[in-house]
Amino acid sequence: MKRKLLLSLVLLLAVMVAKAQAPDLNEDEIIRKQWGMALKDLTASVLKLNQLEADHFWPIWDAYREDKKQIVNAKWSYLADYAASYDNMTNEKASEITYGLLRSEKRLSGIKSKYFKKIANNISAIRAAQFIQIETSIDNELRSVLTQNMPLMPDPKQ
């Protein structure tokens, strides 16, 4: 069941990668809504929270997803810029995109720390650690799919 949900997430990511090249806002919003629901289902199936834990966890999770969405939007913007600039890549553009993506990763790490602390304080450090493990596993899987489908930065122009 968990593997099936993760595979569904990976397929949704593949659709999102394809959409990044020719975005349609209405369709993107639908994909984002499906993506969010699938993530929640996966998280719920792994954590198996009791009712008291769930009452505390899900509002924190919702806030985390909102904070993460801003970072992911910035990341997609850099990736779209990468795709648009690929054939005419300059050193300046490569630096701008790479530093932007690195800043996004740093911000993502920061919100994971912030929400680890919130979950640990409201539920337990063990539940918080499980949450971080789930998020990291999903992020790593998505990163793997993305990098397998993204061409290497082009060689410098002579």
Which position has the higher pLDDT, 13 or 91? 91
Domain regions of the chain by residue span? 2-149
Percent of the chain with pLDDT over 90: 46
Q: What is the mean pLDDT of residues 53-77?
A: 94
**Full-model pTM:** 0.77
Mean pLDDT over all residues of the chain? Answer: 83
The pLDDT value recorded for residue 148 is 80
Q: What is the mean pLDDT of residues 91-105?
A: 96
pLDDT at 15: 54
Q: How far is Cα 1 from Cα 21, in angstroms, rounded to an integer?
A: 31
Nearest to 102 by CA among 132, 127, 126, 75: 75
